[in-house]
Chains A and B, each alone.
Chain A
């Protein structure tokens, strides 16, 4: 027992948690005593005795859990424990519950954890739809309702879509570029463990007096600065989720820039790598802004600062500028990795190189650059400076161009291919093209100021965001999970169940979110617990479809869990793909490669006989293998 307590792990973590909380509490008491304030008084919204421990307790846990052991020993000049590589690989399920530094273990931890949050977020969504199935108040009170849609959005965005992409890339990206691991494995592990912490903080807000945070995922001031305690849980949770994103993005950047296998120049990187490079550039540039915005709200709340208090010269609208300066790029943080995933899948299953590969990569970079210049399209009716509206409209409309390039190039990839549709991954990728196009079109409509004036903050916006986030991001997430499932687990999933899941999801998505365009344009605002009875029929249909969509996800879960355990063994390369991750065993060995592969050609040289992307270690020893030249057939036009 005593030894167990000294070892990094759950016991020490629990002790750290308690000590961390006690430290925070003590700090508040001490500081209040020093400043001559009533030591134990709790204010209506400030609650320093709760919110400060809420920050310190997770750090206590992380210390105890072993997240910082190596760094501390190193900083203190003590011999570091060569845990280094005992933290690698997973030999039993218990290894997934440790501070494990193996990118493949971390990738799996990410995917499983975020899937759990997807379920929680989905249940919250179904509660919302149950309330909205009929006009009038049925199951929840109005203020509880606001908490439901706020937590739903926050869980889905910060704990599902953003991190699951990080998780999938964590698993496959180092393999794809021929690296043995990520550049900073300990930082990688820390990034993962920050996530469940953020999740617990968000969900714990339901227990706070006054209920869960309920100012929307956007948390506009001054509604948020005056809200009950739950809002502080949001402010703090975002810091942990944001820190996790930023650390992962730095890790990806360094990994991609410095750890590519010899021969992999920029134009030989698979598009998934390009996509994560672009996403990471958005994350490191933009995420600090949401962290800052939430800190400012937090300080307004507990320290009585006046960033957004108009009575003291604060500026209410500046919150929105800072928030959207992150949150518009964030919508592309939630989409670009998916672009990467479908590029891989479509090329592999159409047996053809990605059409216009270089333009595809440049379009990603174009989106990154433009993304930083469109934030105020969320504020066309917010009362901001008039002159800013038209320039922002122009950049917003222009961002549809690189997005369109991607859609057309995927279609071009299919032409003259050999399109295989037996894999659920490919089905989701194809459905993604159509569904995402609808979301892109409604985006362009919203970008046009006169139309946005009418439909801003209505169900039309709800339809847009779900077409791009469900029909866009989530479809690509499913595609990615199905595609790399055999690589990650070494087993095959059931394609029949995959098809059931596919059709249920596609039909469910369209039936649920298409009518929202109509009720929104016709006059139904968003974020309401009740609506005019003339929208009753549509809303009933939306709710029924939403339940269908929800139920279908159970098929997915069943398929994943059962196939992981009992599925037939998958070969190394069931999809006959060219990229490097498919040239190693499934699942790959602990350090990925016995010898670092050598990259000799582009990633998608399907159809060129004898063309190779990479030569694996041990292969072709001594023999000169020529660099592959892409063949030069051009399409007839």
Chain B
């Protein structure tokens, strides 16, 4: 039985994973980064890409070498070596992946803690999602209200308190790397610290009906002064309905229901 050219194979794996990693890291996979949170997430992604390239290279080299070395000649009816396994090898390829994924898990956990750190100074924006529009309330600024567009000052942490009015929607600004569902009957929130001024898009990422594709809103990140000026220009205030607490809201909906004599969507009507 020939010995395996372990050294050459390891070399091939290293070369291949370096090539792959370099090519992969050339691209800016996640696109522009525009929040403090994007930093650690992007680093995590890059580390993962390098590790993945390494794993993928192992599989490619092993498969390629086996095919190169042990392809049967046509008409060869003999069998391979009756090897049933190798306990040491099997332990290795069980234990190393365990260590690897636990390492990734620990790292991810640390990043998660990092990106979810709350700042007491944060600006709160109430975010209302409904089929198929976004609206925003500014409780710190006299409950000013904006539709289809929101502004935030750069460099200050923002808490988006999400409220869904009908079905589930999801809040995603790709440049911020942050996403969270808005769930009817549940309060969820998004923490993010915009870091770069500019105009972005808020995208709904949870299927919410025929208008889902177009359920977007404009995001403007600007200096504190510009933000103050903008908020002053806003004339609308958050409609009273939207300000109810959950219990008040449920109460109100019940009353509406009784008036209209049916639960919308349940298909059951009182005759």
Q: With both chains docked as a complex, state the minimum distance between the C-beta of B66 and any C-beta of chain A, in angstroms.
A: 4
Task: Report how far A222 CA is from B208 CA in the complex, Å.
Answer: 9
**A residues near B29, Cβ cutoff 8 Å:** 518, 521-522
Report the contact-size class of chain A (Cβ under 8 Å from the partner).
35 or more
Partner of A316, one of B108, B185, B268: B185
Does A397 lie within 8 Å of B101, measured CB to CB? yes
What residues on A are CB-neighbors of B188 within 8 Å?
A: 383
Contact of A303 among B31, B60, B93, B268 (CB under 8 A): B268
B225 at the interface (CB under 8 A from A): no
Q: Is the CB of A456 within 8 A of B266?
A: no
Nearest chain A residue, comparing its CB with the CB of B60: A434
Residues of chain A within 8 A of B71, CB atoms compared? 419, 421
Q: Please tell me if the beta carbons of B265 and A225 are within 8 angstroms of each other in the complex.
A: yes
B251 → chain A, closest Cβ, in Å?
Answer: 10
Query: Known: A142-B213, A437-B59. Is A523-B31 also a contact (CB below 8 A)?
Result: yes
Q: Is the CB of A634 within 8 A of B83?
A: yes
Does B11 make an interface contact (CB < 8 A)? Answer: no
Given contacts A316-B186, A382-B183, A444-B104, contact A456 B80 (CB under 8 A): no
Cβ A448 vs Cβ B266 within 8 A: no
Report the separation of the CA atoms of residues A526 and B172 in the bound assembly, to the nearest whole angstrom: 12
Q: Chain B: which residue is nearest A437 at the CB level?
A: B59
User: For residue A389, which residues in chain B have a CB less than 8 angstroms away from its CB?
Assistant: 112
- Number of B interface residues, CB 8 Å? 95
A453–B62 CA distance with the chains assembled, in angstroms: 34
Q: Does A450 contact B (CB under 8 A)?
A: yes
CB-CB contacts below 8 Å: B5-28 with A: 27
| Least CB distance, A190 to chain B, in whole angstroms | 32
Of B48, B59, B109, B180, most buried by chain A (CB within 10 Å of CB) is B59
| Docked complex Cα distance between A628 and B80 (Å) | 18
Q: A residues within 8 A CB of B77?
A: 576
Q: From DSSP, what is the main secondary structure of chain B's interface residues?
A: mixed
A57-77 with Cβ < 8 A to chain B: none
A350 to B71, CA, bound (A): 9
Contact code string A499-529 (vs B, CB < 8 Å = 1, else 0) = 0000000000000000000100111011111
Distance between Cα atoms of A597 and B155 in the complex (Å): 76
Given A359-B85, A518-B29, answer yes or no on A311-B257 (Cβ-Cβ < 8 Å).
yes
- Chain B contacts for A548, CB-based, 8 A: none
Choose among A301, A407, A528, A633 the residue that contacts B83 (Cβ–Cβ < 8 A): A633
Chain A residue contacts of B139, Cβ below 8 A: none
Q: Which of B40, B55, B70, B267 has the most CB of A within 10 A?
A: B267
Q: Shortest beta-carbon distance, A402 to chain B, in Å?
A: 8
Instruction: Point out the residue from A352, A401, A450 that lies within 8 Å of B79, measured CB to CB.
Output: A352
Scoring A438, A441, A518 by chain B CB atoms within 10 A of each residue's CB, the highest score goes to: A441
Interchain CB contact under 8 A, A608 and B82: yes
Q: Does B242 contact A (CB under 8 A)?
A: no
Identify 9 residue pairs between A and B in the complex whose beta-carbon atoms are under 8 Å apart, listed by A's number. Answer: A45-B266, A353-B82, A394-B102, A400-B101, A414-B62, A415-B66, A420-B72, A433-B63, A527-B207
The interface of chain A, by Cβ under 8 A from chain B, is 37-38, 41, 43-47, 141-143, 145-146, 214-216, 220, 222-223, 225-226, 300-304, 306, 309-312, 314-317, 350-353, 355-359, 381-383, 389-390, 393-394, 397-398, 400-401, 404-405, 407-409, 411-412, 414-422, 430, 433-434, 437-438, 441, 444-445, 448-451, 453-454, 456-458, 518, 521-523, 525-530, 532, 576, 605-608, 611, 630-637
